[in-house]
Structure 1
Amino acid sequence: MINPKKLIKMARKWQKMAAMRRKRISLPRTDEVLDADRCSTSSVADKGHFVVCSADKKRFVIPLVYLNNEIFRGLLQVSEEEFGIQITGPIILPCDSVFMDYMISIIQRGVAKDLERALILSIDSSYCSSSSYFHQEQNNEQLLLCAC
């Protein structure tokens, strides 16, 4: 689990690295998932949003409010451990788009804190990037939550 102080420290580090390049980090303006190739470097996320990219090159425009969610902070921590901090471009999460869609739907619905903690404990790079597992289980949410 990542504490708020560490999250703030990570965000400041990303901002400093972006400022060193004297270039604004590129973010798309739409709220839908887009192919990474279709996203140009000139687009910027709307106010109150940021962009993450899944391991299979899908882009997600995420509200800043999600940074308060422990599940999303856990995904960011795994991303930092696996990919490090990037100077340019969106944050890459080590999860496929199916897993990201699932996590976003869970966050939108608001799950119980004990389920949220179980999901956080289960997040690691090998688990959340196994798309075949989620394709099989995406319609059976109860089994997926129990597997965590």
Structure 2
Amino acid sequence: MISSKKLVALARKWKTMAGIGRRTIAIPSINPKLAKAGHFVVYSLDEGRFVVPLAYLRTNVFKELFRLSEEEFGLPRDGPITLPCDAAVLEYVISMVQRHDSDMLEKALLVLLGSQQCYSTIASQELC
């Protein structure tokens, strides 16, 4: 049987031998382009990236955003889904859905999105 002192010395030797010729240890990383389970990724016109729960697909606001996106850009084949609004509008929409705001506010937002005047503050240089 080997003593603990010899085992520790042997382990240190193996560690230094394994480290010779290596500069770093490769650590597998998670692909940042993938969404967590139960979520999907959408982009805004100004290339903001949003990870949204799948449950939001049932809301009228997201249904309307996807309809407008299909009208504007067509159906995406290999690329990401881009919604026809800037990041500030999309952040507001997501926060509204998270808070379960009243139907009246949702209807007002649908009218605003449906009017097609609020696609992007970058493109029009005006606030909606």
Q: TM-score, normalised by structure 1?
A: 0.58
Query: What letter is aligned with 1:87?
Result: R
1:110 partnered with 2:100: yes
Deviations 1:88-114, CA, capped at 9 Å, x for gaps: 122101111111111111111111112
Rg larger in 1 or in 2? 2
Q: How does 1:24-103 map to 2 (within 5 A)?
A: 43-103=33-93
Question: Which of residues 115, 118, 123 is equivalent to 1:127?
Answer: 118
Residue 126 of structure 1 deviates from its aligned partner by 3.2
Which 10-residue stretch deviates more, 106-115 or 53-62?
Answer: 106-115
Structure 1 segments, 4+ long, off by >3 Å, are none
C-alpha separation in 2, matches of 1:113 and 1:59: 27
Query: What letter is aligned with 1:112?
Result: S
Unaligned stretches of 5+ residues in structure 2 = 1-29
C-alpha separation in 2, matches of 1:89 and 1:130: 23
Count of matched residue positions in the alignment of Structure 1 and Structure 2: 95
C-alpha separation in 1, matches of 2:72 and 2:41: 18
Q: Percent identity?
A: 42
Unaligned stretches of 5+ residues in structure 1 = 1-28, 31-38, 135-148
- Tell me the SS of whatever aligns to 2:101: coil
Residue 133 of structure 1 deviates from its aligned partner by 1.3
